[in-house]
């Protein structure tokens, strides 16, 4: 029933934010929808857009983050994105 509430977006963001901060992510001070985590084996960046997450980083860290997130929220892996907010994404 979360989708029927006016404050649904805030509730979702606060829950996700709390969960990521607990795991050691740092919230970007310029754009609060960006969460960054650096480790000795790599890095990961999670960008939140409404109820979508775009995840980028080193392969090992992406796999760890996806397993971590799947324990908390229902997720689908839609693979590599081609467009996001009107921007074309090119993977190298």
List pLDDT tens digits, range 3-28: 566 777 788 888 889 999 999 999 98
Q: What is the CATH number assigned to the segment(s) 2-88?
A: 3.30.310
Backbone angles phi, psi at 84, to 5 degrees: -145, 120
CA separation, residue 46 to residues 7, 21, 33, 86 (Å):
22, 12, 8, 18
Q: What is the pLDDT of residue 78?
A: 65
pLDDT of 2 > 60? The answer is no
* DSSP single-letter state for residue 33: T
* pTM, to two decimals: 0.77
pLDDT cut 90: percent of the chain above it? 25
């Amino acid at each position: 029933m979360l989708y029927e509430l006016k404050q649904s977006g805030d509730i979702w963001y606060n829950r996700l934010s709390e969960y990521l901060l607990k795991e050691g992510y740092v919230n970007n001070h310029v754009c609060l929808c960006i969460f960054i985590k650096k480790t000795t084996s790599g890095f990961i960046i999670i960008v939140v857009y409404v109820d979508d997450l775009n995840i980028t980083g080193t392969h090992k860290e992406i796999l760890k983050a996806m397993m971590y997130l799947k324990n908390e929220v229902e997720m689908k892996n839609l693979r590599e994105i081609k467009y996001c907010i009107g921007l074309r994404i090119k993977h190298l």
